[in-house]
Amino acid sequence: MAEKERGILILDFGSQLTQLITRRYRELGFYSEVHPHSMPLEQIKKMNPYGIVLSGGPNSVYEASSPRRSIRELVEIAPLLGICYGMQLICHDLGGQVEKGAHREYGFNFINYKKALGKIPAQQKVWMSHGDVVTKLPPEFELLGETENHPAVIRGPRILGLQFHPEVAHTEHGSDVLLAFTEMCQAKPSWNAPHMVESLQKQIRETVGEKSHVLCALSGGVDSTVVATLLTRTLGRERVHCVFVNNGLLRKDEYETVLKNYEGLGLNVKGVDASRDFLSGLKGLTDPEAKRKTIGKLFIEIFERSLDPQWPLDFLAQGTLYPDVIESISSVGGSVTIKSHHNVGGLPEKMKLKLLEPVRLLFKDEVRKIGQELGLDKSLLWRHPFPGPGLSIRVIGEVTEEKLKILREADDIFISTLKEKDLYDKIWQAFCVLLPIHTVGVQGDGRTYDQVLALRAVTSSDGMTADWYPFNYDFLREVSNRITNRVRGISRVVYDVTSKPPATIEWE
């Protein structure tokens, strides 16, 4: 899809917001990719973008070490949109002037337009983050809008420059600003779910060819399910071999339900029940990292063992997403390895399989749109994330069958109450944690000495930061009552009111 899809190219000069520009353009229906600011000119020409965006960045253009590139060369290929550092670079390179500003502008500000830009009103509330300012425009440039202090919107031949961030939600009419640029580029929106599916299917056929077979490890989560369904619909079920391992650390009835769903989707799936192996492997382990390592190792062993030697495999499919890819290609401080899914890491080399990552250029919301287009159930597409090591990192301390049983029952009550009260979709992730603490309780006339259960529910957009969800007291009271009344082994329920940071989402 990459080189063949025409779209908006984003050159990354190091801003934290670069990824967001790409997302916004895709949401508006324009395909978009992020590349390092140093992307070779020939490659850009080959890509033939409708337009090129120069992102913001932390540097000052007048410093010798700041990232640069020739604006004249770029504008010959396509119209340019410079955002913040991008606008300053354009001015600096074309004969204008950029200096340290007397007024730094961070946060909200107002722009007054002298000349109209698209559908944007004469005064616009925007979000800014800059210390440097343009003090002289390059020849042939005109000032469209300014803040109280500085030029904020400028236009030159095939160039638009913005000193603010149209991609952030706080900027009003941000989408209109982004659309004013696509109009300048005469780009037509075509990035929608049917087109995505068609384009991915074409790419899969080209990569896999007529005969090759693909192996898919299924986790029950959105990404692997969408990938497996997409591959099966494209290549046929005979060539797509799926394996779903029950590690005994799944939630209540999850193995059976998910397996049934897979079969309903028409996947050629082999279910492997290895709960015994995992439980005995975890015996005596209390350290979270030791649990994770043991599970990872066992997973590979069992996965390998469950493969049918008759399957003529050539590819291993993975649900790598675009944020991981961007992180690995980022021009400023990006890591060089793409995160591999922990559960199949190491397999491709050992089994001499080629990696197939059909959704590597997509964001999570796009994967969901594809899932919807393929007819996947909403409840599957909007499931809360669930960690690979499953309930093992939610039973604090040693994992036993008895503790898993208690946790499963409690978790089922918590999650079904969330769904019943229409709260599930408002929360990014919710679960229970079984603590290795016994406390005294009283039930009927008897004294109990059972375990403490913690409820965790957070809002987040990517799991990197999170905040605890402000349930009302009645909801908490009801969940607590239901759990302590129905689940034997729990004498006390507490709610975790810690954000991330300083805590993590999981307890282990």
User: For residue 153, what are the CA distances in angstroms to 81, 125, 249?
Assistant: 11, 13, 55
**Which residue carries 């993975």 as its tokens?**
318
For residues 363 and 226, what is the distance between their CA atoms, to the nearest angstrom?
13
Instruction: Mention every residue, 6+ apart, whose C-beta is less than 8 A from residue 466.
Output: 428, 429, 458, 459, 460, 499, 500, 505
User: Interhelix angle for 254-264 vs 222-235, to 10°?
Assistant: 30
The active-site residue, picked from 92, 130, 150, 165, is 165
165 a catalytic residue = yes
Question: Which one of residues 387, 414, 454, 484 is an interface residue with ligand XMP (CB under 6 A)?
Answer: 387
- The least CB distance from residue 503 to ligand XMP, in Å, is 8
Question: How many residues bind ligand XMP, per CB under 6 A?
Answer: 12
Stretch that binds ligand XMP, among 327-335, 437-445, 490-498, 500-508 (CB under 6 A): 500-508
Per-residue binding letters, 340-359, with ligand XMP (x by CB under 6 A): --x-----------------
Per-residue binding letters, 109-148, with ligand XMP (x by CB under 6 A): ----------------------------------------
Reading the block at residue 422, the tokens are: 């229409």
Question: Which one of residues 292, 394, 408, 456 is an interface residue with ligand XMP (CB under 6 A)?
Answer: 292
| Cis bond upstream, residue 312 (ω within 30) | no
CB 200 within 8 A of CB 1: yes
Stretch that binds ligand XMP, among 28-36, 97-105, 107-115, 382-390 (CB under 6 A): 382-390
For residues 457 and 499, what is the distance between their CA atoms, to the nearest angstrom?
10
Per-residue binding letters, 186-225, with ligand XMP (x by CB under 6 A): ----------------------------------------
Question: Which one of residues 184, 326, 389, 412 is an interface residue with ligand XMP (CB under 6 A)?
Answer: 389
The active-site residue, picked from 5, 33, 167, 409, is 167
- 421: helix, strand or coil: coil
84 a catalytic residue = yes
**Which residue carries 């000052």 as its tokens?**
60
Least Cα distance to 3 among 55, 42, 53 occurs for: 42
**Which residue carries 């050539």 as its tokens?**
314
167 a catalytic residue = yes
**Which residue carries 């990292």 as its tokens?**
289
291 binds ligand XMP (CB under 6 A): no
Give the residue numbers marked as catalytic: 84, 165, 167
State the residues that interact with ligand XMP by CB under 6 A: 292, 342, 385, 387-389, 429, 463, 500, 504-506
